[in-house]
């Protein structure tokens, strides 16, 4: 999933300070799962913002709504009923959702209320960690199902580097060394030989270095 974390209150308040009527839009997908921008967080943020305004002797009208998917034009269309009644939109979705609103409602200011972080998985209750960087050419099949691009601090494709210590990365004892994980996993699979193969320089074109990416499915596109 795409993970996110709410921005600091001061930053959000600064964005909406010029306005008195806003639309606060959550999303029912990833940000709900990582407890950053679902219905519940929309409710909490709405109350907090209104209280902050009250302290200043102002009132803030907040229309709360949580869309099924904010990165989908079909659902973003639902905002049409409210958009004219507000001065600005505050989105609790990931950056994709925020941009979908900006695209659809060309003259309405929209602000992000969360920082979109990474594609990751839930480690345990309340902890998420990065797993994939969307490099566009997945090599997990070569690395025992552990991604060196997202999880090695130096993105090494032929690690581990000389800083790997007791299973941890040189940058911090709190970070697992991806190459240690890869090695342990290759051993468990009886694929130690695989380690000996050099992974050659990656072609970064399918990744973010090739410019903004699109997927066109001829069989589906109209």
Partner 1 sequence: MKTDSVVEKVLKSGQLVVTSECGPPRGANPDKVREKAEMLRGYVDGVNVTDNQTAMVRMSSLSACIIIKQMGMDPILQMVCRDRNRLAMQSEVLGAYAHGINTMLCLSGDHIHFGDHPMATNVYDLDSVQAIQMVKKMRDEGKFQGGADIDTPPKMFIGAAANPFADPFELRVARLAKKVKAGVDFIQTQCIYNMEKFETWMKGVCERGLHKQVAILPGITPMKTVGMAKYMKNRVPGMDVPDEIVKRMGGVPKEQQAEEGMKIAVEQIQRLREVEGVAGFHIMAIEWEQKVPELVERAGLLPRPKF
Summarize as ranges the residues that interact with ligand SF4 (CB under 6 A).
Answer: 132-135, 138-140, 147, 149-150, 152-154, 156, 159-161, 163-164, 169-170, 177-179
Does 130 bind partner 1 (CB under 8 A)? Our answer is: no
Report the nearest approach of ligand SF4 to the CB of residue 96 (Å): 17
Report the nearest approach of partner 1 to the CB of residue 115 (Å): 16
Which residue in the block uniquely carries the two structure tokens 């040189």? 170
Nearer to ligand SF4, 3 or 46 (CB): 3
157 binds, among ligand SF4, partner 1, none (CB under 5 to 8 A by kind): partner 1
Report the nearest approach of partner 1 to the CB of residue 188 (Å): 13
Q: Is 149 left (phi over 0), alpha (psi -120 to 50) or beta?
A: alpha
How many other CB atoms sit within 10 Å of the CB of residue 137? Answer: 11
Does 163 bind partner 1 (CB under 8 A)? Our answer is: yes
Which pair of tokens denotes residue 45? 């943020």
How many other CB atoms sit within 10 Å of the CB of residue 2? Answer: 21
Cα dihedral 131→11→107→71 (10° resolution):
20
């Amino acid at each position: 999933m795409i993970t996110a974390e709410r921005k600091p209150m001061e930053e959000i308040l600064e964005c909406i300070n010029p306005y008195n009527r806003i639309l606060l839009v959550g999303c029912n997908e990833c940000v709900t799962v990582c407890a950053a921008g679902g219905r519940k967080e929309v409710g909490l943020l709405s109350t907090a913002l209104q209280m902050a305004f009250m302290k200043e002797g102002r009132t803030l009208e907040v229309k709360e709504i949580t869309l099924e998917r904010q990165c989908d034009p079909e659902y973003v269309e639902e905002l049409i009923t409210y958009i004219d009644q507000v001065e600005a939109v505050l989105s609790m979705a990931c950056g994709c959702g925020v941009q979908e609103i900006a695209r659809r409602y060309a003259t309405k200011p929209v602000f992000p209320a969360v920082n979109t972080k990474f594609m990751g998985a839930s480690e345990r209750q309340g902890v998420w960690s990065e797993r994939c960087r969307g490099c566009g050419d997945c090599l997990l099949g070569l690395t025992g199902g552990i991604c060196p691009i997202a999880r090695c601090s130096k993105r090494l494709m032929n690690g581990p580097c000389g800083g790997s210590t007791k299973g941890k990365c040189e940058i911090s004892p709190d970070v697992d060394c991806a190459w240690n994980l890869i090695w342990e996993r290759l051993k468990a699979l009886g694929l130690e030989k695989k380690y000996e193969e050099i992974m050659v320089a990656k072609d970064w074109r399918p990744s973010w270095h090739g410019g903004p990416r699109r997927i066109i499915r001829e069989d589906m596109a109209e």
